[in-house]
Structure 1
Amino acid sequence: MSASRASSKNVSTSMNPVPVIERQATAVTGGLPVAGVEPFSTCDWPGRLVATVFVAGCPWRCGYCHNAGIQSRDAGTLDWDTVRRRLAPRAGFLDGVVFSGGEPTLAPQLPDWMDEMRALGFGIGLHTAGIYPDRLARVAKRADWIGLDVKAAPGGIDAVTRVPGSEARVWRALDIVQASGTPFECRTTLDPGCMNAEDLYRLADTLAARGIRQVALQLGRQADGLPLSDPARWPGAAVLDYWRERFVSFSWREA
């Protein structure tokens, strides 16, 4: 999914980089499910102070991914019991827990994790690229808010993910999220190597025609943190103004 930079020492949030991540000092092998926990984030759920749980594993290979270090399931270093013990004392202080990744719906335990966090008093947020629509359908109503990555305009999603068949999954996932009734945001990370201004106009029209109200565009970044484009030149003010006019809520994120 659309992600900020990660390394063997840290994992950043999906939409913006964050300074500190709690992880075990020594990596543990054996397919542990969680790659890291950000104890305090203000950017993973708009308007909320949350902790973010990064689930290890993602089958897609988006060129701008800044959590490439946790694409493998072997990137997990934390078992769920450890995560729960870390988060439980923050109940009542934090607004919620966001499950991110990687791709959190990859974990079959996700419904149970969400239920456990809700029982502790946390609101539940979810970041997903819609890779597993059937699994998303099982958890969409468990969430209080969903951030769904819509990788590109119709016809362009497979070029971003580098995995054939991705596109059908994304649009089906959007159907599921809309039907769930859970508040959500559609987010797109901009990669000039895979899309142009006309694609962004088409994507805005596509989402608006589906009744989407809350959207965000994020500037893609290289692995070294440098932006993939100069936003003043691309996508440019005209594209951003078009998106602002088309939606009730529009966010532009450069970081």
Structure 2
Amino acid sequence: MVPLTTLDYPGQLSCVLFCQGCAWRCRYCHNPQLIPPRGSDEVDWPQVLAFLQRRQGLLDAVVFSGGEPTLQDALRGAMDEVRGMGFLVGLHSAGIKPAAFLKAVAGADWVGFDIKSLPEDCRAITQVEGSGEANWLSLEHLLASGVDYECRTTVHWHLFNPVRLLTLAQRLNARGVKRFAVQRVRTARMLDPQLPSVSAQAEEAELWAAMGEMFPAFELRG
């Protein structure tokens, strides 16, 4: 749990709850300790609620992150409980389980959606068959929901190239995505030790300029 942040829910003071477990194995994952279904630093839900009760009037929002929060059967109930305490509800997700994602989105005020890549390229990143189809179906659910959102893609240049990234941006634009961020990978700690620690690819200003013209809101991070 991160008790206070201004980074994880745009414009709001928030607390981040990291949900344990993820079914994908993204090679550049910088939180590999959250992948197993059980962790060593778990906090009981009653403890979380007690903390949030003390923060009523001080925090604006609670963000459910991971791992992949939609793998938690109790997620939607927890989101509703937090909303009942007067907090806005944020969700960070890659939409691993589209049906569960759809249910969770209905309880969220804002979603930070992790679009991995073009659907045909997802397996090279997640190491899981069918991940591209799930990722993009969940994107369709998100866009149809009317919930405020941001789409973001993590880029390691050994898993992407500029042409594929530009194609991804074009396809997102065609789907109606309005807010898109590119996140340069954090190479200090990654799940795959064989992945080079330096994301070695010349980044040309023309690429970012072209992508920026496609979206009302575009941001390059890292």
Q: Same fold (TM over 0.5)?
A: yes
Query: Which residue number in structure 1 is paired with residue 21 of structure 2?
Result: 57
1:228 deviates by 3.7
Aligned residues: 216
1:120 deviates by 0.6
Aligned residues: CA RMSD = 1.6
Whether the 8 Å contact between 2:97 and 2:134 is mirrored in structure 1 is yes
**Alignment match of 1:71 (pick from 25, 35, 38):** 35
* Percent of aligned positions that are identical: 41
Which whole-Å CA distance do the structure 1 matches of 2:59 and 2:123 have between them? 37
Q: With the length of structure 1 as denominator, give the TM-score of the two structures.
A: 0.81
Task: Give the 5 Å matches for 1:97-176.
Answer: 97-176=62-141
Q: Which amino acid aligns with 2:64?
A: F
Whether the 8 Å contact between 2:119 and 2:135 is mirrored in structure 1 is no
**Alignment match of 2:168 (pick from 200, 203, 208):** 203
Which whole-Å CA distance do the structure 1 matches of 2:46 and 2:198 have between them? 39
1:165 deviates by 0.7
Query: Which residue number in structure 2 is paired with residue 15 of structure 1?
Result: none
Change in CA separation of 1:228 and 1:188 when aligned onto 2, cut-off 3 Å: farther
Higher relative contact order (CA 8 A, sep 6+): 2
Change in CA separation of 1:45 and 1:227 when aligned onto 2, cut-off 3 Å: farther
Which whole-Å CA distance do the structure 2 matches of 1:65 and 1:57 have between them? 13
1:176 deviates by 0.7
- Of residues 85-94 and 60-69 in structure 1, the stretch that sits farther from structure 2 once superposed is 85-94
Which contiguous aligned blocks of 4+ residues in structure 1 show a shift greater than 2 angstroms?
223-231
Whether the 8 Å contact between 2:158 and 2:200 is mirrored in structure 1 is no
Which whole-Å CA distance do the structure 1 matches of 2:127 and 2:9 have between them? 27
Change in CA separation of 1:158 and 1:224 when aligned onto 2, cut-off 3 Å: closer
Q: Which amino acid aligns with 1:166?
A: S
Segments of structure 2 that go 5 or more residues without pairing to the other structure are 191-195
Q: With the length of structure 2 as denominator, give the TM-score of the two structures.
A: 0.93
Q: Which amino acid aligns with 1:180?
A: S
Which whole-Å CA distance do the structure 1 matches of 2:136 and 2:182 have between them? 18
